[in-house]
Amino acid sequence: MARRRPNGGGTVTKRSDGRYQAAVYVPQPDGTRKRKFVYGADYDECDRKRRELLDRAQNGVPTPTRDMTLSQWFDYWLACIVEPHLSAGTFKVYSNAVRLHLRPRLGSTVMLKLGVRDLRAAVKRLAEEKSSKTARHALRVLSASLTAAMTEDIGLTRNVAKVVTVRATTDSGKSWSAVEVLRFLAEARQRTVYYPALLLMCLLGLRRAEVCGLRWENVDLENRVIWIEQQRQRSGPGTIDVDLKTETSKAPLPLPAQCIAPLRWTRMRTAFLRERALTKGRPWWDDPDHHVFVTRTGQPLQAECLYQTLRRAAESAGLGKMNPKGLRKSCGTLLVHLRVHPRIIKAILRHSRIATTLDIYAEALDPDVIAAVGQLDRLLRQPAALRRLADSVTDAEILD
């Protein structure tokens, strides 16, 4: 028998199968209110779930319902799960994928009714209209959103996005040889004042955002140590410093000797630009965080501007276009060619898992494989060497 409560307090009733159900009107991501049902094996369990729904409603937290469309779920997922807990860059990537690809094609579909056949057809159309890489990226974003939906009390029990696959090539960017890196640095030294930033990217494999977020307090020129603690990312109308994606990315690194003089020159350049701007009345922005690399007006350098500088220097050196992660990959590739242990490469590039290091830079092992096959070929072309090898094996068996 139902127990009466004040208006808006919800109801708890016993079902014909012996279980209990509670019904509460809860707010939705689009601002409306809908009736939400929860179930329990006994009255106390069901009443506890009813109170949890009321607490969420009183705190203004939307509660999705079973008839929620994917468009409504995307709004809730981005606002309540992605934006508060993930980085600004991740939120931007997810929201763009939802706005450009997922919402136009799947937004009106009820989330609990999304089937494999419908999703496969939508992904196929997206791959035909855009590209396979775009379709695979959108599918990954959808999978992340559905995984989050499975933890909510909606009733979703399966992530259909994990069943659908998209065949697409993985392009992690080409890497340069040591000669090409030297050509690039020689050209960059003549063409841009941000040569020290590009030098750090080549020698330490720093990301563009990490270079732009580097502060003078993170650089010890005397002891030749550099600390990577934040990165510069765009947020809304401007850019801000944010924490790195993983804790393993925060690490001190040895500063190569050839970086000392360029960094000192960078500090002198910033002081000169500031003095000239103040003397001649030109615009100047005093950076409270004292970033290492700034523009002519004192603003912290942005990752997009650094990438354009990289591209111009590469094309001027006759090296063609370079992937945004090209210098970082070149650093790892050259370390592999120098036969540096993968765990040391992982520490330098600050990967969270050694599998990431091996997967990205596995192509650097190809010359080693070729050399090994060549040695085996030369061995098999020498019968005398094979006889000596057979004799040594026979002697070892006798001694055993």
Q: Consecutive sets of 10 residues in the chain, 400 residues long: mean pLDDT of each?
A: 59 87 77 79 87 79 73 88 84 92 92 90 91 91 92 80 78 73 90 93 89 93 89 72 70 87 95 93 90 93 91 90 81 80 82 73 52 58 60 57
pTM > 0.85: no
Quick one: 310 exposed, middle or buried, by C-beta within 10 A (0-12, 13-18, 19+)?
buried
Do 303 and 270 lie in one domain? The reply is: yes
Q: Which two tokens stand for residue 293?
A: 């690399």
**Residue 63 forms part of a structural domain:** no
CATH number at residue 144: 1.10.150.130
**Residue 5 forms part of a structural domain:** no
Q: What is the pLDDT of residue 73?
A: 87
Number of Cα atoms under 13 Å in the Cβ half of residue 66: 7
In 223-325, which ranges are continuous DSSP H helix? 260-280, 303-316
When divided into structural domains, the chain yields a total of 4
Do 377 and 317 lie in one domain? The reply is: no
Contact 170, 176 (CB under 8 A): no
Q: Which two tokens stand for residue 162?
A: 């994990």
Do 237 and 318 lie in one domain? The reply is: yes
**Residue 65 forms part of a structural domain:** no
Residue 26 sits in which domain range?
Answer: 11-58
Do 198 and 345 lie in one domain? The reply is: yes
CB neighbours of 17 closer than 8 A, spacing ≥ 6?
none
Do 318 and 200 lie in one domain? The reply is: yes
Do 305 and 386 lie in one domain? The reply is: no
Do 233 and 344 lie in one domain? The reply is: yes
Q: What is the pLDDT of residue 1?
A: 44
Number of Cα atoms under 13 Å in the Cβ half of residue 328: 19
Q: Helix 195-204 and helix 326-337: axis angle, to 10°?
A: 40
* DSSP code per residue over 204-238: H---HHHHHT-BGGGEETTTTEEEE-EEEEEETTE
| Radius of gyration (C-alpha) of the chain in whole angstroms | 29
**Residue 326 forms part of a structural domain:** yes
Q: How many CB atoms lie within 10 A of CB 193?
A: 16
Q: Which of 234, 238, 200 is nearest to 218 (CA)?
A: 200
Do 249 and 385 lie in one domain? The reply is: no
